[in-house]
Structure 1
């Protein structure tokens, strides 16, 4: 994802885990491993118009942020589709990583979604 630094105004880039991509409506849901304290997350909060790059394709998007409950529900769905990756992500995020559904549903802050 390309984004603008909220303090410096400089172009920034970050690699993110795409939790869900919905081609039908052009939306993407990504996870913030450090939750709302991540610099890129705070940058996108300050300027939600940004660009997602997938391969050589660039997509102009505007971020909106999921509620903690919606983010938790989305992570639970992701855990069913990608169990090993979801377990590593839960561990990194400080959530229970026993592989159970409860750890995937525990809110850890909001996740941005793009359309």
Structure 2
């Protein structure tokens, strides 16, 4: 694709190098000032470090998870339960389950019931 009538047929104006240089110098000075300010800001904020703090509930949950990972597992009982579930022989008592869940929550969160 060709472009015709560039500059509307007028002759090309000569570039005034003095004017170009004078326009570029303030930009260069401004850039140097911005870089110095950025360096100063980075140096001032460099000693800051991130930190994390856990709530008491999260700390307690973490302790429970560690204890459960360290607890011994009765493989014989686990296998017996797996077979009962697979055979459809395992029945859940909803009342007993609810009581155990409530007791566990009270132990974890220190709730008096």
TM-score range normalised by the length of the shorter chain: under 0.3
* Structure 1 length-normalised TM: 0.20
Structure with the largest fraction of helix: 2
Structure with the largest fraction of strand: 1
Find the structure with the greater CA-based Rg.
2
* Structure 2 length-normalised TM: 0.20
